[in-house]
Every structure is written in structure tokens, then in C-alpha cells.
Copies of this chain bind each other. A is one copy, B any other.
């Protein structure tokens, strides 16, 4: 028996919505390579049609339920989902693959360390694994100091999933500022305040294996 697993999420937030706003969500699947699929989402304002959020989660892969190792996409299953997969050259909507830019962090290179993260019982799916983006994203957000989270808003995020997180896991988050728009790194590379701040994040299990690495982009709340 196999199950689908997702490895990469690209999520630029274009405009933050206010409570009470009505939005419409469009989502579709397209093929990605021989064994994978890409899921895309568009969140638009229901009245104006303006796009507020684009997201691409790519490289859905098959994992053997027992061994937890990668498995080939079975022909029978591929035929089953084929009618639901779009064959369109315009997709995915976010073409850039930021994975190569994502840095691995260790205690020496990290600016912030957050320990003591663990899933609660209701964070686990039916297979007893943490399988919800929202939980991983909340662990990623813990990497930045809270004063920063209050003064800035998240504007984009790339997450690369590398290992599953099961019950009884204890995790820690290493985070580092990878680009700060408020300071110039050299004479030819002047960033300005409104270019925002980028963080790199790595989430580790106690045995040292990396659960995910991520990059978040933040803008000051005043903008």
C-alpha cells in the first residue's frame, strides 16, 4: 500500500485579507515529471476578481505505507487520476524552484534556536504522522523572535519537506536572517527597507535528521 506525500510548497501572499472579506478559491492538478504531480491554488477577491494568494505544492510522491520509502507511481493509480490532471503549459503558476537556494543550518550558523516543539495528539493524521501544512508552518514561525512577528507580516514562503514527523517526536527550529533589506551588505548591494527581510529555517528531530528546510519573506507591517 502506498500513500501520497508532498515535498515542496511555494506560497507568495500578495495581499492580506481582512476578516469579513469574501474570497473564491480555484485549485487544480497538473503533471510534474514522470512520477509527480503539482497542485496549484489561486485565492481571488470574490467581488473584484483580484488575486490575493498564489500557491504551488509540487512533487507529490508515492510512499510505501510500511517501509516509508519512495515508491513508483503505479500505472493503475496513474490511470485513475489522469482524468483529473490538466494538460496545460501555463502551469504550474509559480515556476521558480527555490529549493537550491534553501540553506541547511546548524547551531553555529543559526541566529535563533527554538527547542521543545512536539506534536499534540490532534496534530496527527490517521497514520499517526503530522500531515498538516499549518502545523509545520506554525513551527517555522516559532523560529523568529516574537517582537519581529508582531512588527512584520509574512509575504512569501517556500517549504521543502525532507522527512516525516511522527508521534513522540521532539523537534527544534534553527533560523537565520538570510537577507535583511534594512542594511547594505556591500557597496554594490544596497537593499532598502521595503525589500523586506528573509529568514532561512531548518526543523530537526532529536536524532539530528532534518524534517524540513524553509525560507520566509517578511515585510514591515506599515507597508
Q: How many residues of A sit at the interface, in one of the four size bands?
A: 10 to 19
Q: Which residues of B contact A18 (CB under 8 A)?
A: none
Taking the nearest CB of chain B, how far is it from the CB of A14, in angstroms?
20
Taking the nearest CB of chain B, how far is it from the CB of A173, in angstroms?
11
Contact stretch, chosen from A92-100, A118-126, A155-163, A208-216: A118-126
Tell me, yes or no, whether A221 is within 8 Å of chain B by CB: no
Tell me, yes or no, whether A116 is within 8 Å of chain B by CB: yes
Contact of A121 among B116, B122, B138 (CB under 8 A): B138
Contact of A138 among B120, B139, B141, B149 (CB under 8 A): B120
Tell me, yes or no, whether A167 is within 8 Å of chain B by CB: yes
Q: Which residues of B contact A122 (CB under 8 A)?
A: 138, 141
Give complex CA distance A138, B149 in Å.
24
Q: Which residues of B contact A149 (CB under 8 A)?
A: 121
Taking the nearest CB of chain B, how far is it from the CB of A138, in angstroms?
5
What 9 A-B pairs have minimum CB-CB distances, sorted nearest first? A120-B138, A122-B138, A121-B141, A121-B149, A116-B116, A120-B142, A121-B142, A121-B146, A122-B141
Residues of chain A having any CB pair with chain B under 8 Å: 116, 118, 120-123, 138-139, 141-142, 146, 149, 167
Q: 15 A–B contact pairs at CB < 8 A?
A: A116-B116, A116-B118, A120-B138, A120-B139, A120-B141, A120-B142, A121-B138, A121-B141, A121-B142, A121-B146, A121-B149, A122-B138, A122-B141, A123-B138, A146-B167
